[in-house]
């Protein structure tokens, strides 16, 4: 056996023993404290562990993984996996059985080619696991608003979708200016111009104030104090 491989396997073996038998080890509570041990064959002869590792595909970068997290380290319950696969087999992982086959949620998402975030959203809404994995993603019809008019704005074309999945459209205002508006603000009436309505209201109020001030000065000239 290559010396480097033997050294790496010895390190893995010693870490296994620490987790399972050293009560001072910070990881003991999640292994030995739960009754997880190393089988007698490996515990009494680490060479047996080395032999099993080589025969079962050990190579640099792989981690030892217990197939059943509630059972011991043994030839029947262990395998060599990537770090990603190992993380997916944590006790906190949620497992689902579909057609007699049990996998964790991430593994099912990988198999069906769907994002885990979408499946989690669907499950939180009470969807069945198979439906959450297989129902096609709803696509947005980006052309539904094109040509429609909202207030002074006429929708010309789809612009973009932001990080919050909001859709934005390029619009032409009656005043001749272009603006980009969130579709929800268009539909709700929150935005009905490029901003010219607000400017007009400001200018009207300013003119009213000037007129009131002029009237006040005129009144004082006729009726001095």
**pLDDT-based confidence at residue 222 (cuts at 50, 70, 90):** low
**Per residue in 152-169, pLDDT tens?**
999 999 999 888 888 999
- Give the mean model confidence (pLDDT) for residues 8-36: 93
What's residue 219's pLDDT? 54
pTM, 2 dp: 0.45
The tens digit of pLDDT for each residue in 197-210 reads 999 999 888 888 88
Each domain of the chain, given as residue ranges in start order, spans: 1-92, 94-136, 149-194
- 112: helix, strand or coil: helix
Angle between helices 116-124 and 105-112 (to 10 degrees): 120
Longest CA–CA separation in the chain, Å: 114
CB 46 within 8 A of CB 67: no
Q: What is the DSSP track for 16-62? A: HHHHHH-TTSTTGGGTGGGT--B-HHHHH-HHHHHHHHHHTT--TT-
* Structure confidence at residue 88 as a pLDDT band (50, 70, 90): low
């Amino acid at each position: 056996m290559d010396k480097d491989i033997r050294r790496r396997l010895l390190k893995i073996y010693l870490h296994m023993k620490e987790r399972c038998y050293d009560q001072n080890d910070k990881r003991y509570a999640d292994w030995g404290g739960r009754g997880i041990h190393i089988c007698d064959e490996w515990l009494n002869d680490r060479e047996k562990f080395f032999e099993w590792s080589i025969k079962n595909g050990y190579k640099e970068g792989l981690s030892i993984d217990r197939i059943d997290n509630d059972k011991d380290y043994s030839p029947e319950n262990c395998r060599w996996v990537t770090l990603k696969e190992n993380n997916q087999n944590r006790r906190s992982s949620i497992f689902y059985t579909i057609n007699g086959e049990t996998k964790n949620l991430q593994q099912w998402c990988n198999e069906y080619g769907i994002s885990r975030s979408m499946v989690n959203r669907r499950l939180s809404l009470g969807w069945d696991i198979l439906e959450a994995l297989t129902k096609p993603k709803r696509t947005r019809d980006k052309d539904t608003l094109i040509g429609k008019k909202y207030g002074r704005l006429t929708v010309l074309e789809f612009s973009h979708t932001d990080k919050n999945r909001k859709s934005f459209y390029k619009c032409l205002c009656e005043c001749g200016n272009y603006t980009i508006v969130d579709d929800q603000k268009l539909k709700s009436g929150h935005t009905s111009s490029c901003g010219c309505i607000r400017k007009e209201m400001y200018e009207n109020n300013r003119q009213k104030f000037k007129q009131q001030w002029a009237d006040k000065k005129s009144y004082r000239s006729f009726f001095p104090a």
